[in-house]
Chains A and B, each alone.
Chain A
Amino acid sequence: MKRWMKLAAGVVAISLATAGCAGSGGSGEAPNNANTPQQLSGELTVWLMTGSAPDTLTSALHKEFQDANPGVKIKYEIQQWNGIQQKLTTALASQTPPDVIELGNTQTPQFAAQGVLADLTDSVNDMNGSQWLKGLKDSATFDGKVYGMPFYAANREVLYRKDMFEQAGITTPPATRDELLAAIDKLKAKFGSDPDFQAMYVPGQNWYALLSFIFDEGGDIAKAEGRNFKATLNSPEAKAGLEFYKKLVDASGTKAPKDNDESNPQQAGIYGGGKVAMFIGTPNEVATAAKTDPTIKDKTGAFAIPGKTAGKSAPVFLGGSNLAIPVNSKNTAAAKAYLKMFSTQKYQTEIAKGGFVPGTSTDISALSSDPFASVMAKAAQNGRAVPSSPKWGEVEAGQNPLKDMMTAYITGAKSLDQATTDANAALDKLLAGS
């Protein structure tokens, strides 16, 4: 027994020592700001998520950067979404963290609040800061300091079958909610005899679409109270938004599951099956649908998610990513220079060509040739993000109260008041956290 005690004591001592000397980065090594010309060197590890940056962008950017900085070698690795939280977390704790990382905009506040990202406030102007996309900038700002550079954004719109609209006698795309409901009725009148037909595919838990309706009513998910957030899902505006969503589900004759979201099953795949006239999605879902039916792309058009009043489409939820530099990066100066080059018009245009709204440029002309992306880009100017709470990442990581709220109300399991009150309480609990 005594020997055991001794051994245990030794073990404690060792573990304290090892835990204590963990990754010592973060302090004191903030290099001079990027304005002073200096010879950059070393290996710059860049982690971007799969599907984010077109290859044309990265290959051109990396070539130009390495030509300009012969001492720097870029190690570019594409990361997968699966398990990214654990991978990033552990990589940041290593002696050699990646130097540039991509963070989802809903994930950024958590990392910023934990102090593991380098403060970029002084470099914003170097990175075309005046043109940053507001929704993304907000998500990368914490306590007045900036911890990330907007990368790209995407938002939702209504994608529809032009041919079906024509056959049903709908000449102009709906611009208001009432026109949308009227279009659904016309489509049903024309194609309703086919039992598989769905005028609009509306899954019960597409909460991104719900947000548009809530925003349009003037509501929000939560409001900031100092540093904290207070859920506002039981506000009259949020209730009205949810009510309209249910109306849409009921009117559309959708066969989509009421207890799942737009990716289970993948709505673009269903749309590609040819029996759906409309759905709310992002422009790049057209490509997914085209995998099912290559001809569908030419038959598809897009219009902004209609608002209550004509001439003003609904605000949209802005999804996207930021680029950030880990605080313990060994190559902060090179990483900042990299972001600076990334933010230039040339590469922002590449992002736009890839079908996304660029993060650091308001010039979206490259998107105008694409019928789907141009509608999206216009709506993006009226885009809003989720509350920039460090806790929001946890809300989306698992049991999102908004989804449960939608299913409960749409299936009739709960009344409107009950569903919103319960969700509000659940969200408050998550946002307050521990």
Chain B
Amino acid sequence: MTSTKDVAAMPAGTTPPASPRVPTPRARRRKGFSDAVLPYLLLAPGVIAIGALLIWPTFQLVLISFRQLDLRELVTGQLVWVGIDNYTEVLGDPEFWQITVRTLVFMAAVVAATLLIALGVALLMKQLNPIVRMLLQVALVVAWATPAVATTTIFQWIFDQQYGILNKTLDLLGFEGFIGHSWFGDGPSTLTVIGLLITWQAVPFVAFSLYAGLIGVPREQYEAAGIDGAGPFQTFRAVSWPAIQPILTIVTFLSVIWDFRVFTQVWAVRQGGPDGESTTLPVYMYLKGIAGSHFGTAGAIAMIMLLVLVILLARYIQLLLRSKEVELK
């Protein structure tokens, strides 16, 4: 397998050495210019789209972060360079560091919860009978697909101190004193509810991705493991884990990014309150930058967030790239 891949991956134009197995497709085909250009042609749409609509605007944002870009400058097109003023303003704000730490802790908790629950759900889905599986899948998809404006409201109503079904149910079950209990009374409690909401919406995607990996494992491998007398845990380690490990790596990578940047839900629940105790970095960016149309400041905060993510994920990017490189060599 490795040898055929090597042959297939030979630079176009050279004659591949005779393979001991079958003649490789390359060997039979016309070679030359088109083969050398083909990969680039195929990649072109992706490169152009990503380059023009993600990378280029991000680069623009870097420039904006060194400018004063308020409404006035935006409308008139004036260029006012302020050097690193936007950065010193943000970094000099004692609140900023506290918010950064809070955001990191919140992100870590949500990512961990999402991955654990999703892994459990994915493994479970494989074992269920088709009807129960379908039921579970529909519940997951609907949780995923429902618009955030509705779900954030629904969560607030479920947790409403007076009329919420949760407090009413707790009261009914004999936990007295929950009527009138406020789940949004302080920062940690508020963030916990927000975390639950985000986890609820994030699990479906991760669970489906992992499930897609799991069902790619040929049934025979499980049967073989069964015959070898492996217990469920050994089977998981030997058969399931290799199949989902690369997917797990990428979804962890993505979850870290998304949960670090999540804004809608955090904002909708309490706008970062009470007393700013549930303010995370994206909320901070909105308050400091967007709300007052200070886009330079917003750009600087976005850049700092990007830097934090790069620091967090640099090792991950390395790992992801290396794992892919190894496979092709």
Chain A residues with a Cβ under 8 A of chain B: 11-12, 15-16, 19-26, 82, 85-86, 89, 92-93, 110-111, 114-116, 255-260, 264-265, 326-328, 391, 393-394, 397-399, 403-404, 407-408, 411, 433-434
Question: Are B292 and A399 neighbours in the complex by a CB distance under 8 Å?
Answer: no
Question: Are A408 and B286 neighbours in the complex by a CB distance under 8 Å?
Answer: no
Tell me, in angstroms, the Cα distance from A434 to B74 when the chains sit together. 18
**In the assembled complex, which residues on chain A have CB atoms less than 8 Å from the CB atom of B149?**
82
What's the minimum C-beta distance from B188 to chain A, rounded to whole angstroms? 14
Within 8 A of A (CB), among B48-73: 56, 59-60, 63, 70-72
What's the minimum C-beta distance from B164 to chain A, rounded to whole angstroms? 10
B269-288 CB contact bits vs A (8 Å, 1 = yes)? Answer: 00111111001000100111
Knowing A257-B161, A259-B182, say if A398 contacts B291 (CB, 8 Å). yes
18 interchain pairs (CB within 8 A)? A11-B59, A15-B63, A20-B77, A25-B75, A82-B149, A85-B293, A89-B293, A92-B71, A93-B75, A110-B293, A114-B72, A257-B161, A259-B274, A260-B184, A397-B287, A399-B276, A399-B279, A407-B274
A-B contact count (CB 8 A): 108
The yes or no answer to B192 lying at the interface (CB within 8 A) is: no
The yes or no answer to B151 lying at the interface (CB within 8 A) is: no
User: Which residue of B has the minimal Cβ distance to A19?
Assistant: B79
Beyond contacts A82-B149, A256-B162: 18 other A-B pairs, Cβ-Cβ < 8 A, are: A15-B63, A19-B60, A20-B79, A22-B74, A22-B77, A85-B293, A111-B71, A114-B75, A257-B162, A257-B182, A259-B185, A328-B75, A398-B271, A398-B291, A404-B275, A404-B276, A407-B274, A434-B89
What's the minimum C-beta distance from A323 to chain B, rounded to whole angstroms? 18
What's the minimum C-beta distance from A175 to chain B, rounded to whole angstroms? 31
The yes or no answer to B146 lying at the interface (CB within 8 A) is: no
Measured as residues with beta carbon below 8 angstroms from the partner, the interface class of chain B is 35 or more
Tell me, in angstroms, the Cα distance from A67 to B112 when the chains sit together. 65
**In the assembled complex, which residues on chain A have CB atoms less than 8 Å from the CB atom of B77?**
19-24
Tell me, in angstroms, the Cα distance from A202 to B56 when the chains sit together. 51
Question: Are B274 and A92 neighbours in the complex by a CB distance under 8 Å?
Answer: no
Knowing A398-B291, A407-B274, A433-B292, say if A89 contacts B74 (CB, 8 Å). yes
What's the minimum C-beta distance from A374 to chain B, rounded to whole angstroms? 33
**In the assembled complex, which residues on chain B have CB atoms less than 8 Å from the CB atom of A391?**
292
The yes or no answer to B257 lying at the interface (CB within 8 A) is: no
Tell me, in angstroms, the Cα distance from A110 to B71 when the chains sit together. 9
Question: Are A93 and B272 neighbours in the complex by a CB distance under 8 Å?
Answer: no
The yes or no answer to B168 lying at the interface (CB within 8 A) is: no
The yes or no answer to B180 lying at the interface (CB within 8 A) is: yes
Knowing A15-B63, A255-B180, A407-B274, say if A394 contacts B74 (CB, 8 Å). no
What's the minimum C-beta distance from A229 to chain B, rounded to whole angstroms? 15
Question: Are B75 and A327 neighbours in the complex by a CB distance under 8 Å?
Answer: yes
Question: Are B72 and A115 neighbours in the complex by a CB distance under 8 Å?
Answer: yes
Question: 3 closest Cβ contacts across the A-B interface?
Answer: A22-B77, A397-B291, A114-B71
The yes or no answer to B290 lying at the interface (CB within 8 A) is: yes
Within 8 A of A (CB), among B148-186: 149, 156-157, 160-163, 180, 182, 184-185
Question: Are A399 and B297 neighbours in the complex by a CB distance under 8 Å?
Answer: no
Question: Are A85 and B291 neighbours in the complex by a CB distance under 8 Å?
Answer: yes
Identify A16's interface contact among B79, B180, B182, B297, CB under 8 A. Answer: B79
Tell me, in angstroms, the Cα distance from A394 to B292 when the chains sit together. 6
Question: Are A398 and B79 neighbours in the complex by a CB distance under 8 Å?
Answer: no
Tell me, in angstroms, the Cα distance from A326 to B290 when the chains sit together. 20
**In the assembled complex, which residues on chain B have CB atoms less than 8 Å from the CB atom of A255?**
162, 180
Tell me, in angstroms, the Cα distance from A103 to B74 when the chains sit together. 18
Question: Are B74 and A404 neighbours in the complex by a CB distance under 8 Å?
Answer: no
Within 8 A of A (CB), among B274-314: 274-276, 279, 283, 286-288, 290-294, 297
Knowing A264-B156, A394-B291, A397-B287, say if A89 contacts B71 (CB, 8 Å). yes
The yes or no answer to B34 lying at the interface (CB within 8 A) is: no
**In the assembled complex, which residues on chain B have CB atoms less than 8 Å from the CB atom of A23?**
75-77
**In the assembled complex, which residues on chain B have CB atoms less than 8 Å from the CB atom of A22?**
74, 76-77
Tell me, in angstroms, the Cα distance from A24 to B182 when the chains sit together. 52
What's the minimum C-beta distance from B26 to chain A, rounded to whole angstroms? 30
**In the assembled complex, which residues on chain B have CB atoms less than 8 Å from the CB atom of A115?**
72, 76
Tell me, in angstroms, the Cα distance from A259 to B276 when the chains sit together. 13
Question: Are B287 and A398 neighbours in the complex by a CB distance under 8 Å?
Answer: yes
Knowing A15-B59, A85-B291, A265-B163, say if A403 contacts B273 (CB, 8 Å). yes
Which of A24, A327, A397 is the most central at the interface, judged by chain B CB atoms within 10 Å of its CB? A397
**In the assembled complex, which residues on chain A have CB atoms less than 8 Å from the CB atom of B288?**
434
Question: Are B290 and A86 neighbours in the complex by a CB distance under 8 Å?
Answer: yes
Which of B273, B275, B288 is the most central at the interface, judged by chain A CB atoms within 10 Å of its CB? B275
Knowing A11-B59, A16-B79, A89-B71, say if A434 contacts B291 (CB, 8 Å). no
Tell me, in angstroms, the Cα distance from A89 to B293 when the chains sit together. 8
Question: Are A404 and B274 neighbours in the complex by a CB distance under 8 Å?
Answer: yes
Tell me, in angstroms, the Cα distance from A257 to B190 when the chains sit together. 15
**In the assembled complex, which residues on chain A have CB atoms less than 8 Å from the CB atom of B185?**
259, 411
**In the assembled complex, which residues on chain B have CB atoms less than 8 Å from the CB atom of A256?**
162
**In the assembled complex, which residues on chain A have CB atoms less than 8 Å from the CB atom of B286?**
398
What's the minimum C-beta distance from A140 to chain B, rounded to whole angstroms? 16
**In the assembled complex, which residues on chain A have CB atoms less than 8 Å from the CB atom of B276?**
399, 404
Tell me, in angstroms, the Cα distance from A111 to B74 when the chains sit together. 12
Question: Are A399 and B293 neighbours in the complex by a CB distance under 8 Å?
Answer: no
Tell me, in angstroms, the Cα distance from A111 to B79 when the chains sit together. 19
User: Which residue of A has the minimal Cβ distance to B180?
Assistant: A255
**In the assembled complex, which residues on chain B have CB atoms less than 8 Å from the CB atom of A92?**
71, 74-75
**In the assembled complex, which residues on chain A have CB atoms less than 8 Å from the CB atom of B290?**
85-86
**In the assembled complex, which residues on chain B have CB atoms less than 8 Å from the CB atom of A407?**
274
User: Which residue of B has the minimal Cβ distance to A86?
Assistant: B290
Within 8 A of A (CB), among B9-28: none
User: Which residue of A has the minimal Cβ distance to B269?
Assistant: A264
**In the assembled complex, which residues on chain A have CB atoms less than 8 Å from the CB atom of B184?**
259-260
**In the assembled complex, which residues on chain A have CB atoms less than 8 Å from the CB atom of B273?**
399, 403-404
Question: Are A393 and B291 neighbours in the complex by a CB distance under 8 Å?
Answer: yes
**In the assembled complex, which residues on chain A have CB atoms less than 8 Å from the CB atom of B74?**
22, 89, 92-93
Identify B292's interface contact among A15, A21, A110, CB under 8 A. Answer: A110
Identify A393's interface contact among B70, B89, B160, B292, CB under 8 A. Answer: B292
User: Which residue of A has the minimal Cβ distance to B288?
Assistant: A434
Question: Are B297 and A408 neighbours in the complex by a CB distance under 8 Å?
Answer: no
**In the assembled complex, which residues on chain A have CB atoms less than 8 Å from the CB atom of B275?**
399, 404, 408
Tell me, in angstroms, the Cα distance from A391 to B70 when the chains sit together. 13
User: Which residue of B has the minimal Cβ distance to A423?
Assistant: B275
Which of B76, B157, B297 is the most central at the interface, judged by chain A CB atoms within 10 Å of its CB? B76
Question: Are B60 and A114 neighbours in the complex by a CB distance under 8 Å?
Answer: no
Tell me, in angstroms, the Cα distance from A398 to B184 when the chains sit together. 16
**In the assembled complex, which residues on chain B have CB atoms less than 8 Å from the CB atom of A85?**
290-291, 293
